[in-house]
Amino acid sequence: MIEIKDVSLWYKNFKALDHISTTILKGQTVVLCGPSGSGKSSLLRCINGLEHFQEGEIFIDGVSVQDPKTDIYQLRSTIGMVFQHFELYPHMTVMENITLAPIRVRKKSKKEAEEKAMELLEWVGIPEQALKYPEELSGGQKQRVAIARALAMEPKLMLFDEPTSALDPEMIKDVLDVMMNLAKEGMTMVVVTHEMGFAKAVADEIIFMNEGRIIEKGPAQSFFDNPKNERTRQFLSRILWQIDSRVKVKGSWN
């Protein structure tokens, strides 16, 4: 579904992405991990055209992202994105946040959009928050609203940029549960995260990036049990120390 061909990206003199090539199939859940500055978020933003890359091509179901003939707005409306800092519109209620794009882009009627919004809010578990303003919600609730907002456009692909990094530990579970359910329903997902427990349980494939390059890519199981690359091993040993030392709580992701 997503074809990334030899993509390179420079910020002034800094090379953020270095000849990245990979393919992501429909229905897969792919986790992007790696140290800070490895380019994972940049790659994610290239997929839906929010970031302009200088070399290479990205195709979504055959449509080239950077082709000037491509209607990028139309393309973006088929891709949903969830951000680390939620980015809910603070001057609108939860309901208005979710219905803005369906009304303005898909030209749905207010009634239709609101019905769908309520369905989604129920699905993520917080229907009672519909008329509240974002500042009244907790972090975990905000992120679930953000997921509902992205799903309101009925996307065929969902991108997650460190969705739980800004959350209190107790709220991470709620958000990851929603993401797991989404994966179960067959959504194609690309997730940038440090939550290795989630990756182990839900991901089909894991891509490890470092300094703008893909170092290793493989099925989740073998990735953790038998990493091929030295750098990958190093990264995992550091990050897994944190997981092992976390208190084991029933039903948690650790």
Partner 1 sequence: MDLDVIIRNFEFIIGGLALTFQLALLTVVGGLFMGIVLAMARLSSRPWIYYPATLYIHFFRGLPLILVIFWLYFLFPVVIGRPMGAFSSAIISFIVFEAAYFAEIMRAGMQSVARGQALAAYSSGLTSYQTTYYVLLPQAFRNMVPSLINQTVIIFQDTSLAYVIGLREFLRRVNLVDAREVRSIELYLFAALVYFIICSTGSLISHRLEKKRVGRLFN
Give me the residues that bind partner 1 (CB under 8 A), please: 45, 48, 50, 73-74, 76-81, 83, 85-91, 100-101, 104-105, 133-135, 142, 146, 149-150, 153, 159
> Considering the complex, what minimum distance in angstroms separates the CB of residue 49 from partner 1?
8
Q: CA-based angle 34:38:40, to the nearest 5?
A: 75
CB of 31 to partner 1, least distance (A): 20
Q: Write down the H helix ranges in 60-93.
A: 72-77
CA dist 165 and 57 (Å) reads 29
Task: Select 88 or 215, whichever has its Cβ closest to partner 1.
Answer: 88
Query: Are 231 and 186 in contact, with CB atoms under 8 Å apart?
Result: no
CB 165 to partner 1: min, Å: 13
Q: What is the DSSP string of 130-191?
A: TTS-GGGS-HHHHHHHHHHHHHTT--SEEEEESTTTTS-HHHHHHHHHHHHHHHHTT-EEEE
Compare residues 159 and 175 and give the one whose CB is closer to partner 1: 159
Closest to partner 1 by CB, 24 vs 159, is 159
Report in angstroms how near the CB of residue 145 gets to partner 1 at its nearest.
12
Look up tokens 């290239």; give the residue. 46
CB of 85 or CB of 228, closer to partner 1:
85
- Contacts (Cβ under 8 Å, ≥6 apart) of 220: 31, 199, 200, 203, 204, 205, 206
C-beta closer to partner 1: residue 142 or 144: 142
Of the two residues 41 and 232, which places its CB atom closer to partner 1 in the complex? 41
In the complex, least distance from residue 129 CB atom to partner 1, rounded to whole angstroms: 15
What residues have CB less than 8 Å from 247, skipping those under 6 apart? 254
**How far is it, in rounded angstroms, from Cα 178 to Cα 9?**
32
Min separation Cβ 176 and partner 1, Å: 20
